[in-house]
Structure formats: C-alpha cells, structure tokens
Amino acid sequence: MITRQRNNNVVWHRPLVTRQMREVLNGHKSLVLWFTGLPSSGKSTIAHALEKKLYDLKVRTYTLDGDNIRHGLCSDLGFSPEERAENLRRIAEVIKLFLDAGIVVLCAFVSPYKKDREKVKKIVGNENFVEIYCRCPVEVCKKRDPKGFYEKAEKGEIKNYTGVSAPYEEPENPDLILDTHLLTVEESVEKILNFVIDKILLKGEPSPKASV
C-alpha cells in the first residue's frame, strides 16, 4: 500500500542547465497559457489551434488537456471538489517542470473554482501565468456538446458536471476574455497570439512573428 507520508530524506540536486539557458537555446521564454471556462466553451479547440500556430512560428510548446491528463497522471481522481483540487495541484507541479524546460505550456482545464486557479497561479508563479477565460453562455455550450456530456449530466448519468450539477466561478480579472460564441476560432487564436508574443520574446531576439 502507498502511504502518503512526506519523506524528509530528499535533497534537491542543483542542475547544471538552467531555465534561462534553455530559453536561450529555444529562442523564446517559457510561459503558461491557462484556458478556463465551461465544458464545450472551446478551450481545447482554441488551445490546439494556437499550439499549431506557435509550432509554425518555431515556438516550443506542449498542451496539457483536461481529458488527456485524466487518462494517465490523474486517472485515479474523480470530480468532487477535493479531487478537482488535487487534479490541479498535480498539473501545477507538471507545469513547473515544463516552465523549467523552457516550454510554452497551454493548459485546457474547466478549473471551475477560483481558489484552485489561484493555487495553480501561486505554485507556478504569477509572472509565468496568463489566464484566458473562454466565456460562452451555457445554452450555447449545451448546443455544442461535442462529447454529449451535458445531455448525460442532465439525465443524471454524470454527477458533478460543471454547468449542470456543479458550479463554475467566473474569473474576476483574467488576462484575456474570449467570447467564443462571438469570435471564430481563428479570431480567438489571433487575439491570444497578439497578447502573448511579446511576453515570450527574449531581449535582443527577433519576434517569432517576424519570421513569417
């Protein structure tokens, strides 16, 4: 059985290659783009479209997507408030590794509770964190419902479903708001790109956007 006791006999081994060195090698800084919003608001669609655009600009990226993470790292967790908090705590620790690796990490998670999002921000560092709110009326999300989960939740076949039987707390002061019922995917991607490109720019390096 696994006991969840802290082992004090661990000593941090200082690496020879630092985040800063990796950022110089990559030609850009690392950053977290955190997409939050109701299920079907468009987080994954926009994050993956943006990732392709960044890839074309030779920016090193990785996308952490809610459903995918729950297939592996967090496959033992459900959707109660406590389990959602643990899910995000683990993700925040993974993000820290990606930041250290010099990667721009795109994160698509419903992350319905403000305190959990704040906790992630605290773990990864405020200065590394861009909060993007995919805002979309729940009626539109229910119509989209590509996974059919709203329908199942309304029939009671899925418990604790955000937007039906679990709450969503809107971000108070996000860095970006995307009204995904009004903007096309391409418009949302462009809006994020314009906001983010300066943030990943290394001093003295040409903008990745200048190469296209």
Ligand X SMILES: Nc1ncnc2c1ncn2[C@@H]1O[C@H](COP(=O)(O)OP(=O)(O)OP(=O)(O)O)[C@@H](O)[C@H]1O
> Could you list the active site residues?
111
Nearest to 169 by CA among 210, 107, 118: 118
Residue placing its CB nearer to ligand X in the complex, 67 or 151: 67
Residue placing its CB nearer to ligand X in the complex, 46 or 166: 46
| Beta bridge pairs of residue 106 | 33, 63
Contacted entry of ligand X, Mg ion, none for residue 107, CB cut-off 5 to 8 Å set by kind: none
Residue placing its CB nearer to ligand X in the complex, 129 or 133: 133
CA–CA dist 80, 173 (Å, integer): 25
Tokens of 73: 């790292």
Binding site for Mg ion (CB under 5 A): 43-44, 108
Contacted entry of ligand X, Mg ion, none for residue 110, CB cut-off 5 to 8 Å set by kind: ligand X
Q: How many CB atoms lie within 10 A of CB 195?
A: 14
Find the shortest distance in angstroms from Cβ 29 to ligand X. 26
Positive or negative: CA dihedral 108, 113, 119, 121: positive
Binding site for ligand X (CB under 6 A): 37, 39-46, 66-67, 108, 110, 134, 144, 146-147, 180, 183-185, 188
**To 10 degrees, the CA torsion angle through 136, 87, 30, 21?**
180
The tokens 């993974």 sit on which residue?
A: 94
Find the shortest distance in angstroms from Cβ 39 to ligand X. 3
Find the shortest distance in angstroms from Cβ 3 to ligand X. 33
